[in-house]
Structure 1
Amino acid sequence: MSPKDSREGLFYPELGRTRLNAEVPTGEGHWPAGFGHVDRQIRVGSGDAAFKALAEGIMTWQIQRRAGLRVAAPPRAVVGARVVSGFGVGDLRLPVPCEVVWALEPAGMLRSDGTDVELAGFGYGTLPGHPALGEEAFLAMKASDGGVYFRLLAFSRPSGLLFKLGSPVTKLTQRNVTRAYLQAARSLAP
């Protein structure tokens, strides 16, 4: 069974790629050919309290909610959890279904560059009905100096002809949602 067929409904290459890229410094990841990608990291605070608040906010969907999305999901991001976010205005919202493909509760890790960090977060993949095909991940990281960072990793391409024709709108929407995620992360870390 190929990686893209390993989970029902998840039909994109390199399932879990964002998890692998989480282990390398920002900008050093490898991405599937033919997919656009995002690898953004911002400092949001320092210390254990900031890290715990950010990690908990990520694992309980607060990043999405504070970014203005409506979220229907289990209380916590765990592998196999299905989530439907909706973005739009009022009741006019486009449903975007995803499934969590990896989740990491706070854990120490030695990254590929030899630095010790503490990481927490998850990645989810798109399901049929989503306007994009790909994966997105949300990470809290505490560096050895105590700095706390939010990192957003994603790769995607339009999921069909209709969304490909609307790709300029989709790209603008993705940029706006990315900006909203970054603001949400800042609001979570005290």
Structure 2
Amino acid sequence: MNTLTYPEVGATRLGPLPEGYHHLRHRAAVGRGRAAFEAAGAAVTEWRVHRASGVHVDASAARAAAGVAVEMWAGVGRARVTASCEVVWAMYEDTRTGFAYGTRTRHPECGEESFVVELADDGTVWFTVTAFSRPACWYARLAGPLVPLAQRLYARRLGRTLRRAVSEP
């Protein structure tokens, strides 16, 4: 059975982030206006920003929704890392769109990560990645402080990729 591996399901939406995990918060401006918000929200919830950032995504649905199974992988051969997740919440609101997935038993980490696009009152479109995680397997523990660094770099890459996607005609 491939079940969620942590008890604090939904903490990236409801807060606070639980203790005993590494916390990540990254926020980036990706555009301006309603059209940019709509484009960014679709790119995030339809897995396009992840795919464009170099991660292979196999999801059980074309769009993020609670209960959708997601298998992701990066790398090749023996250097390939596979991560099994499940969408634990999704939101499609007038000024906020996004989702979070939680780790399942075949994931090297244990925790949750959210990806939210927000249209601010001044028209700025913000993309926020929020996560809590800790190692769940030997190689993630062995990597030590490199894992949080890789997560932060990946969050920044997602923001840059989303900014480019929103600015393209």
So what's the TM-score if we normalise by structure 1? Answer: 0.80
Aligned to 2:44: 58
Give unmatched runs, 5+ long, in structure 2. Answer: none
* CA distance in 2 between partners of 1:171 and 1:72 (Å): 24
Q: Does 1:38 align with 2:2?
A: no
2:26·2:152 contact (CA, 8 Å) conserved in 1?
no
Aligned to 2:63: 76
Shift of residue 12, structure 1, vs aligned partner: 0.9
Shift of residue 186, structure 1, vs aligned partner: 1.0
Aligned to 1:102: 89
Shift of residue 165, structure 1, vs aligned partner: 2.0
Against the structure 1 CA distance between its residues 173 and 144, is the aligned structure 2 distance closer, same or farther, given a 3 Å change threshold? same
Give the root-mean-square deviation of aligned CA atoms.
Answer: 1.7
Aligned to 1:111: none
* CA distance in 2 between partners of 1:38 and 1:119 (Å): 20
Aligned to 2:12: 18
The DSSP-based 3-state class of the residue aligned with 1:42 is strand
The DSSP-based 3-state class of the residue aligned with 2:163 is helix
Shift of residue 91, structure 1, vs aligned partner: 8.5
Shift of residue 93, structure 1, vs aligned partner: 2.1
1:80·1:100 contact (CA, 8 Å) conserved in 2?
yes
Aligned mate of 1:159, from 131, 136, 144? 136
Aligned to 1:115: none
Instruction: Work out the number of aligned pairs and report it.
Output: 165
Share of identical aligned residues, percent?
39
Against the structure 1 CA distance between its residues 160 and 94, is the aligned structure 2 distance closer, same or farther, given a 3 Å change threshold? closer
Give unmatched runs, 5+ long, in structure 1. Answer: 1-7, 22-29, 109-117
Task: Name which structure has the greater RCO, CA cutoff 8 Å, separation 6+.
Answer: 2
1:13·1:32 contact (CA, 8 Å) conserved in 2?
no
